[in-house]
Amino acid sequence: MHFSVLYFILVLMAGVGIGYLILRTVDNSRLTGVKNQTLMLMREASEAAERVKKDRLTEAKEEIFRLRQEAERDIRDRRSEQQRTERKLEQKEENLDRKLDRVVQKEEELRHKQEELQQRSLDLENVIKQQAARLEEIAGMTREQAEELLLRKTEEEAQHAIGLRLKELEEKAQREADRKARDIIVSAMQRCAVEHASEATVSVVPLPNDDMKGRIIGREGRNIRTFETLTGVDLIVDDTPEAVTLSSFDPVRREIACLSLERLIADGRIHPARIEELIEKATRDVEEEIREAGEAAVLETGIKNIHAELTRTLGQLKFRYSYGQNALSHSLEVAHISGMIAAELGVDEELAKRAGLLHDLGKAVDHQVEGPHAAIGADLAKRFGEKPDVVSAIASHHDTLEVNSIYDVIVSLADAVSASRPGARRESLDAYIKRLEKLEELAQAFNGVSKAYAIQAGREVRVVVNPSNTNDGTVHKLAYDIARKIEAEMKYPGQIKVNVSREMRATELAK
């Protein structure tokens, strides 16, 4: 048993040893083969690397060669370009040098010419002085006298040319505008038929007898003092038979006083308490009359949405007069004429009527507020919400401001038509005569005028000029200057025609 086990172990060990020897022999042979194969692969890799190295070196040499050629070619091109640039610069320098030489030469020539011109100028001045002295000696006039004569002659020629040009322009404007304007104005005037009452501005109250004067004055003058204190009106009791006079700058106060006095005279009870009672009643009645007059005017013109305060102020114009023309009646007429002109021109008729009705609004309060009535009326209209066109037309209807719209022209024209038509206004005899005398004086103040006559009730001034001192051209200039001077220095209703005539007469005797 033990022997078989031992034998088995020995056999096993022998097998293991033999197997080890066999495996070692096999591994050595394999290792030798691997080493040989590795050596062979290394030689091949070395050869391949050598070949790649040679190829890369070859390519690098070729690339270096190519780059070198390109660089040399680029350098050659740059040198060529630089050479061309240098040649151009050299040519430009040569050209500049030549031009500079020519400029220097020109400057030298100009300097010589300038010296020659200066010398010639001096020579010419000497010649002019000699000739002027010679001319003065021949003509018998100094240089100043000759200049004055030349200027006077030139001025005469210029006036002649200006006069002819003015005539040409006026004729052209008249041809284009006269016919249409005349048709519009005549049409408006024919369609308007407002009557005027030329009432006086001083109120005279008739008395039943002269004894009433003493009762009006009262004991120690208490009645007249009470009356004047409550009305603000001067009551003038003089030698005028059976009449007393009421004087006040405020027409409304004067109307209240007149109405109160008439009622006192009719009542017969004249004492301070009764005077105060009747004045209060007259004040209420006149206020009502003012309101009704304003509403009637607005209703007559068909104007809507006028502020109540403007309507009341408009009614106050019933008691105002200008050259004998009632201010409210004048405003109504201006409103109608403005509407007619606006209708002919194709603009807003109602707006033109509104501006025409309110244009003299300031006359109702111009004794209370300082300033021209046009500016006062425009301020009132603006304050109570009237449109800018209406305010502008009121402010500029006397040509004191620049025209802003067509309604300014329409209202100004209608105002002139209403004021200047025959019978519309009157003025005192003294003022009338003074206005005519001043009109003639203004015309006679111009050089060359021999006579001047105011005719047509001051609506035309006829001027006669000396034919030896004027010519046809200066006649038109003279008429223009006289018209502008009249506009600047005189106040008058409507317009004044300036008629300048020049007549040459020759007289001989047959013997």
Task: Provide the 10 A C-beta neighbour count for residue 34.
Answer: 10
Nearest in space to 461 (alpha carbons), one of 446, 469, 472: 446
Pairing between strand 497-501 and 460-465? parallel
Nearest in space to 476 (alpha carbons), one of 177, 170, 174: 170
DSSP annotation of 208: S
Mean pLDDT, residues 289-313 taken together? 86
203-420 CATH pick, 1.10.3470, 3.40.50, 1.10.3210, 2.40.160? 1.10.3210
pLDDT score, position 247: 80
Residues found in the chain: 511
Give, to the nearest 10 degrees, the angle between helix 327-345 and helix 349-358.
160
Largest CA distance in the chain: 216
pLDDT score, position 323: 64
Nearest in space to 479 (alpha carbons), one of 493, 459, 465: 465
Nearest in space to 267 (alpha carbons), one of 226, 216, 210: 216
Q: Please give the Cα distance from 351 to 336 (Å, whole number).
A: 11
Residue entry with tokens 């609506």: 459
Mean pLDDT, residues 491-502 taken together? 78
In degrees rounded to 5, what are phi and psi of residue 498?
A: -105, 115
DSSP string of 134-190, one letter each residue: HHHHHHT--HHHHHHHHHHHHHHHHHHHHHHHHHHHHHHHHHHHHHHHHHHHHHHHH
The radius of gyration of the chain's CA atoms, rounded to the nearest angstrom, is: 59
Are 260 and 216 in contact by the 8 Å Cβ rule? The answer is no
Which residues 6+ apart lie within 8 Å of 234 measured at CB? 228, 246, 247, 248
Domain limits of the chain?
203-420, 429-501
pLDDT score, position 421: 57
Q: Which helix (H) or strand (E) holds 499?
A: strand 497-501
Nearest in space to 488 (alpha carbons), one of 383, 378, 399: 399
pLDDT score, position 332: 87
pLDDT band at residue 44, thresholds of 50, 70 and 90? confident
The string of pLDDT tens digits covering residues 253-282 is 888 888 888 888 888 888 888 888 988 998
pLDDT band at residue 178, thresholds of 50, 70 and 90? low
pLDDT score, position 400: 64
In degrees rounded to 5, what are phi and psi of residue 244?
A: -130, 160
Mean pLDDT, residues 181-204 taken together? 52
Q: Count Cα neighbours of 470 within 13 Å in the Cβ-side half-sphere.
A: 23
Of the spans 68-82, 144-158, 207-221, 432-446, which averages the highest pLDDT? 68-82
Average pLDDT over the chain, rounded to an integer:
79
429-501 CATH pick, 3.30.70.1350, 3.90.600.10, 3.50.50.60, 3.40.718.10? 3.30.70.1350
Q: pLDDT higher for 140 or 75?
A: 75
| pTM of this prediction exceeds 0.75 | no
Query: By three-state DSSP, how is residue 203 classified?
Result: strand
Residue 444 has pLDDT above 50, yes or no: yes
pLDDT band at residue 24, thresholds of 50, 70 and 90? low
pLDDT score, position 143: 67
Mean pLDDT, residues 459-483 taken together? 80
In degrees rounded to 5, what are phi and psi of residue 367?
A: -85, -10
pLDDT score, position 438: 85
pLDDT score, position 367: 59
Residue 82 has pLDDT above 70, yes or no: yes
Quick one: tokens of 216? 């009006």
Mean pLDDT, residues 137-159 taken together? 73
Q: Please give the Cα distance from 495 to 325 (Å, whole number).
A: 17
Pairing between strand 449-455 and 321-322? unpaired
pLDDT score, position 236: 84
Q: Please give the Cα distance from 364 to 426 (Å, whole number).
A: 20
pLDDT band at residue 294, thresholds of 50, 70 and 90? confident
In degrees rounded to 5, what are phi and psi of residue 404?
A: -110, -25
Q: Please give the Cα distance from 290 to 314 (Å, whole number).
A: 8
Q: Please give the Cα distance from 392 to 400 (Å, whole number).
A: 11
Are 493 and 474 in contact by the 8 Å Cβ rule? The answer is no
Mean pLDDT, residues 425-451 taken together? 73
Mean pLDDT, residues 227-256 taken together? 81
Q: pLDDT higher for 437 or 189?
A: 437
